[in-house]
Amino acid sequence: MREAQLYEVTEGSRVKCTACARYCQIPEDKIGLCGIRGNVGGKLQLFAYGKIITGNVDPIEKKPVSHYMPGTKVFSIATTGCNWLCQYCQNFDISQRRKIEGSDVSPKDVIRMTKSYDCQGLAYTYNEPSIFIEFARDIGVIARREGIINLFVSNGYLTPETVELMREFLDCITVDFKGNGETAFVRRYIGVPDPEPIFQSLLDIKNRTNIHKEITDLVVPELGDDLIQAQKLCRWIYDNLGPDTPIHFLRFHPDYKLMHLPQTPIKILERHHKVAKDIGLNFVYLGNVLGHPLENTYCPGCGEIVVKRFGYNIGGWHMDKRNHCLTCGYRIPIVGSLAKTASESKFLTVIP
Ligand code: SF4
């Protein structure tokens, strides 16, 4: 446990947490919705500081991130708790747990583990990392100093204060929309009143940081698969983040409280892909569809496959050292060249 940085004292001994857009107002001896920040004696404490519930070696492509340091190995960590209440969460055992549990680790221990498994990066993932931002920052600052990249897999429900702290260490963020970020969907299936803070945070990240951004959208069949909403989301991304922003439409599979739904039909994902391409987004991917041709990166100049993908593996690279297409010379906006670890096996459970 450690005193949080992102909070304000309000009236009496109440505190207002500013780590996420819920802005919980927490009376003394109570905790915020995420379950890991609470008011002790008029101060906001991050109870999960120094505790990680899981640690795994993963390929960066699993996050999913396709345009940043391809082929790298990342050490993925999480605490318990979350600021969202997704009814389909695949990590619900971690994210919806309202107990502080896990292994005791200092920021230096996390760096040591990252290095000992030859990972070039650290991913803060499985639950929403902004809820443990001070712990992530303390790890991330050391990581950056040691040449290790830092990556957030986030729901984007952030605040200007969180974005400010992210500037100190974060290199890459993938912001996960669900059900196209449609208001009725996020209210009913996530317990979030309004998706607007996600859009504001993305603009804030764009305007105030150099953090690489990718977008995902979990397409939930029957509940969050509306093409008009997908069109709105893609239009917003095109207008505000630009046509080269990668977007990944992810296939839903049943979990937690939504076991009765089917997997997202491939046709629906392909229609989402078409919507995004028609709007003008250049790099549109389908995720969780092993072997589908839309896992690949296609050159916007000539249509050639410049990165051949199979799931999280990269099986072909058709670019020069500066990431220009070998067929037509078009510069593909991918940060970094193919990592030496691209062909290695990159899955390992370190902290089960
Ligand atoms: S991080 Fe947790 S305590 Fe803070 S506002 Fe969000 S849900 Fe509430």
Please write the tens of the pLDDT for every residue from 318-331: 999 999 999 999 99
Residues 285 and 302 both lie in one domain: yes
Count other Cβ atoms within 10 Å, centred on residue 97: 19
Alpha-carbon dihedral sign for residues 308, 314, 316, 322: positive
Q: What confidence score (pLDDT) does residue 346 get?
A: 66
Residue from 3, 30, 34, 135 to probe ligand 1 pocket by mutation (most atoms less than 8 Å from CB): 34
DSSP state of 84: -
Backbone angles phi, psi at 175, to 5 degrees: -100, 120
Q: What confidence score (pLDDT) does residue 347 get?
A: 76
Residues 55 and 36 both lie in one domain: no
> pLDDT below 70 — which residues of the chain?
346
What CATH number does the domain containing 252 carry? 3.20.20.70
Give the residue numbers spanning the domain of 7. Answer: 2-46
Spatial distance between the Cα atoms of 259 and 267, rounded to a whole number of angstroms: 21
Residues 268 and 290 both lie in one domain: yes
How far does the chain reach from its first CA to its final CA, in angstroms? Answer: 22
Q: What confidence score (pLDDT) does residue 350 get?
A: 83
As to burial, measured by CB atoms within 10 angstroms (0-12 exposed, 13-18 middle, 19+ buried), residue 12 is exposed
Residues 18 and 146 both lie in one domain: no
Q: What confidence score (pLDDT) does residue 335 get?
A: 98
Residues 192 and 331 both lie in one domain: yes
Q: What confidence score (pLDDT) does residue 182 get?
A: 95
What atom in ligand 1 is closest to the CA of residue 83? Answer: 7
The set of residues, in sequence order, having a beta carbon less than 8 Å from that of 67 and lying 6+ positions away, is 212, 214, 246, 283, 333, 334, 335
Specify the number of domains making up the chain. Answer: 2
Q: What is the pTM assigned to this prediction?
A: 0.95
C-beta of residue 67 within 8 angstroms of C-beta of residue 246 = yes
Residues 27 and 103 both lie in one domain: no
How far is ligand 1, taken at its centre, from the CA of residue 181, in Å? 20
Strands 7-9 and 15-17 come out as antiparallel
Ligand 1 first shell, C-beta below 6 A:
17, 19-20, 22-24, 32-34, 37, 83, 131
DSSP state of 139: H
C-beta of residue 52 within 8 angstroms of C-beta of residue 102 = yes
How far is ligand 1, taken at its centre, from the CA of residue 233, in Å? 26
What atom in ligand 1 is closest to the CA of residue 35? Answer: 2
Q: What confidence score (pLDDT) does residue 72 get?
A: 95
